[in-house]
Amino acid sequence: IRYNEADGWHDAKVTARRPLSIDPASTVLHYGQEIFEGMKAYRGEDGHIASFRPQANAARFAASAQRMGMAVLPENLFLQAVDELVKIDQDWVPSGEGQSLYLRPFMISNEVFLGVKPATEYLFIVIACPVGAYFGSGCVSVWVSENYTRAAIGGTGEAKCGGNYAGSLVAQAESKAQGCDQVLFLDARERRFVEEMGGMNVMFVRNDGKIVTPPLGGTILRGITRDSLIKLAAAEGVEVVEEQIEIDELFEGAASGKYVEAFACGTAAVLSPIGSLRRPAGEAKFGDGTTPGPVSLRLKKVLTDLQGGRTNDAFNWVHRIV
């Protein structure tokens, strides 16, 4: 779907995937006005195909557009575009545990203009690709980034824009060089509080049975999986407390047994147990560092059973497409 000031949103069409042709002076190539979403379509046991809380992705996409000074795509057009692509690509939706059709709606500015101002022309596109589990079973290891932060107050941390990821790639590479699977970012001001990971939110299980997760303060992404788990855990009788988590206290608490489990959550990662956190000063292990804990496994099952259409959808989150 295209946007310009004269025609508004127009020219909606589905085509076979092909290269895009844009002018070398297209604004996105110079000023980075680009936003995206990550969603999945799941095939249920009876063959139906459904997405999960797509309205939340549409709303977050609109909020990201607003933050980036871009044209705001009406949420009904976003939802219609995603559903239409899934219907056309329905034979590509795999079945089985951890399998889904990954959906990537995104928008770029595409005005031919060199000059720093919000563009007046945009292009919204959805592409799709079958995927399996992001991480294998077992636990992931996480590197705490002390050299780089992801987002400052007043910045774009809450928007799902490509620029946020551009700035975090070097930290992800550092984490890999340290032998870890993922990176954990701290707050930009003091480098003292846990924020989120490269592409997922993070939660910790305490020995009092509660789960803690960093609050939404404008610098982390409003994860839809995060929000879903807060509500699903409450329905299971587990309270999720949204509060600041000090990194030093977390390392001490992991050693003393105050923090017993940790996990990452997001559309791609679903719920991925974390075995250990590492930083230059040492390592924090959750449990034995390699075996996922019972709370993580239980919540993962609750979430994936719901997404796969195997349990009652009490929150009305499952959106049937086919």
> Is 250 in contact with 274 (CB distance < 8 Å)?
no
Angle formed by the axes of helices 294-307 and 224-235, nearest 10° = 110
Distance in Å, CB of 200 to ligand PMP, minimum: 5
Q: In this complex, which beta carbon is closest to ligand PMP, that of residue 37 or of residue 121?
A: 37
Q: Is 292 in the site for ligand PMP (CB under 6 A)?
A: no
User: Residue from 86, 221, 232, 254 that binds ligand PMP (CB under 6 A)?
Assistant: 221
One character per residue 26-45, x = contact with ligand PMP (rule: CB under 6 A): ------------x-------
Q: Is 162 in the site for ligand PMP (CB under 6 A)?
A: no
Contacting range for ligand PMP; rule: CB under 6 A; set: 7-15, 102-110, 127-135, 223-231: 223-231
Instruction: Output helix, strand, coil percentages for the chain, rounded to the nearest 5.
Output: 25, 30, 45
Q: In this complex, which beta carbon is closest to ligand PMP, that of residue 25 or of residue 169?
A: 169
Q: Is 105 in the site for ligand PMP (CB under 6 A)?
A: no
β-partners of residue 142 are 182, 277
Two structure tokens written together for 301: 């099952």
User: Beta strand pairing status for 270-279 and 140-144?
Assistant: parallel
Q: Is 201 in the site for ligand PMP (CB under 6 A)?
A: yes
Cα distance between residue 266 and residue 227, in whole Å: 10
Q: Is 182 in the site for ligand PMP (CB under 6 A)?
A: no
Computed from CA positions of residues 165, 166, 168, 172, in that sequence, does the dihedral angle turn out positive or negative? positive
Q: Is 212 in the site for ligand PMP (CB under 6 A)?
A: no
Q: Show the DSSP H helices in the chain as ranges.
A: 28-31, 54-67, 75-88, 162-177, 224-235, 247-256, 294-307
Q: Is 54 in the site for ligand PMP (CB under 6 A)?
A: no
Q: Is 183 in the site for ligand PMP (CB under 6 A)?
A: no
Contacting range for ligand PMP; rule: CB under 6 A; set: 44-52, 198-206, 248-256, 276-284: 198-206
Instruction: Provide the binding-site residues for ligand PMP, judged by CB under 6 A.
Output: 38, 196, 199-201, 221, 223-226, 266-267
